[in-house]
């Protein structure tokens, strides 16, 4: 059976852009029965970006609650926290020992951090670069190789990490025999890219996001803040360049979108359109938002789900790690 694996970073609050671009397709895919799927919280990875314990803890809870509230099928997929699988870290070390430093030197995220430092002649090129950031791709390779996953749905920004995982796996296989499956990135070119409040791509780094489970009042306020042009009511408007329209379209059916296009041609007023978008999104999100708030009140229940997922995942990782230990020469003394 084909094996797929989806890593979910546990930093930041999920926003509408994450939802339509990544979360929604992944949750739909969680119902597929023709593949074996692993879904996990990448909480070791979170430590690279965030050193505030309260925030790390909170984010794990919020992200897990978000995915559960939106209907992740945890009976069908194996859903766990990376930090509940000790084998991942041991494998990370084995992989670290066969990974060329030169390969890591080429990683985009690391290079971007160095380039930013170099722009300032007074700064050390490696200022603020931890070994966690530098070795991030090795940990990610371990996530994937541990479960012999061959198809990894990711955004374009992660494609290089997948190439590195393949390189690392091939190097290990060359040294120690064919233990790993070489993984492949699956990039969904149709995945919607949402624009944010200011008309640029919706992204945490631009501070222009609409959080997915914003309370009703705050959601309305944010939508009222979305930038539009200053065309008066009754003047025909162009949906193609309109953020309001694009957000609506990401959620609506083809028929609903066509009907709204018609209203743009008739010159719908911006105030009316914003109210319409608010009501539409609110209707779609209020039920999962309610479930989300309930789940936040039941952290023990979420923990239990994760622990059960970890037990299922370890049925694969524990024996495989024994095989890998043997492959590299670690087995009980006195045994052949």
* Contacting residue, 3, 26, 88, 140, with ligand TRP by CB under 6 A: 140
Cβ neighbours, 10 Å, residue 133: 16
Q: By Cβ distance, which residue is nearest to ligand TRP?
A: 7
Minimal distance, residue 293 CB to ligand TRP, in Å: 26
CA distances from 83 to 199, 217, 291 (A): 37, 36, 25
The 18-57 contact track toward ligand TRP, x by CB under 6 A, reads ------------------------x--x------------
The reply to whether 143 sits near ligand TRP by the rule CB under 6 A is: yes
Interacting span for ligand TRP (CB under 6 A) from 4-12, 239-247, 278-286, 328-336: 4-12
Decide if residue 314 touches ligand TRP (CB under 6 A). Answer: no
Segment lying near ligand TRP (by CB under 6 A), choices 63-71, 136-144, 206-214, 274-282: 136-144
CA distances from 182 to 164, 165, 179, 317 (A): 10, 8, 10, 17
Per CB under 6 A, the segment of 5-13, 56-64, 189-197, 240-248 that binds ligand TRP is 5-13
Alpha carbon 259 to chain centroid distance? 33
Instruction: Please tell me the distance from the alpha carbon of residue 20 to that of residue 248, in angstroms, as a whole number.
Output: 11
Determine the angle formed by the axes of helices 216-225 and 270-296, rounding to 10 degrees.
140
Helix pair 159-176, 86-96: axis angle to 10 deg: 80
Site for ligand TRP in 144-173 (CB under 6 A): 144, 152, 154, 158
The torsion angles phi and psi of 39, rounded to 5 degrees, stand at: -125, 130
Q: In the set 7, 12, 21, 288, which binds ligand TRP (CB under 6 A)?
A: 7
Interatomic CA distance for residues 243 and 198, integer angstroms: 9
**Cβ(239)–Cβ(260) under 8 Å?**
yes
Q: Which residues bind ligand TRP (CB under 6 A)?
A: 5, 7, 9, 42, 45, 140, 143-144, 152, 154, 158
């Amino acid at each position: 059976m084909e094996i797929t694996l989806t890593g979910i970073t546990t930093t930041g609050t999920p926003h509408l852009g994450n939802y339509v671009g990544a979360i929604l397709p992944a949750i739909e895919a969680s119902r597929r029965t023709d593949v074996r799927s692993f879904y996990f919280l990448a909480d070791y990875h979170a430590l690279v970006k965030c050193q505030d314990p309260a925030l790390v803890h909170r984010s794990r809870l919020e992200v897990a609650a978000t995915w559960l509230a939106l209907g992740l099928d945890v009976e069908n997929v194996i859903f766990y926290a990376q930090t509940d699988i000790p084998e991942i870290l041991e494998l990370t070390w084995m992989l670290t020992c066969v990974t060329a430093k030169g390969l890591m030197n080429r990683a985009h995220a690391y290079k971007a951090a160095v380039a930013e430092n170099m722009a300032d002649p007074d700064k050390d090129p490696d200022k603020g670069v931890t070994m966690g950031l530098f070795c991030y791709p090795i940990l990610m390779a371990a996530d994937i190789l541990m479960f012999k996953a061959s198809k990894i749905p990711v955004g374009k920004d992660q494609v290089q990490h997948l190439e590195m995982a393949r390189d690392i796996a091939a190097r290990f296989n060359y040294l120690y025999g064919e233990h790993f499956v070489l993984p492949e990135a699956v990039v969904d070119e149709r995945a919607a890219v949402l624009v944010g409040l200011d008309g640029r791509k919706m992204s945490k780094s631009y501070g222009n996001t609409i959080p997915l489970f914003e309370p009703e009042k705050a959601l309305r306020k944010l939508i009222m803040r979305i930038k539009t042009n200053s065309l008066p009511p009754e003047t025909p408007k162009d949906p193609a360049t309109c953020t309001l329209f694009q957000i609506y379209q990401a959620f609506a059916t083809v028929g609903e979108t066509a009907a709204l296009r018609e209203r743009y041609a008739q010159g719908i007023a911006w105030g009316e359109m914003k109210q319409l978008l608010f009501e539409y999104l609110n209707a779609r999100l209020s039920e999962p938002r309610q479930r989300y708030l309930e789940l936040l009140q039941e952290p023990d229940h979420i923990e239990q789900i994760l622990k059960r997922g970890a037990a299922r995942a370890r049925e694969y990782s524990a024996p495989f790690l024994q095989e890998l230990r043997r492959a590299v020469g670690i087995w009980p003394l006195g045994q052949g």
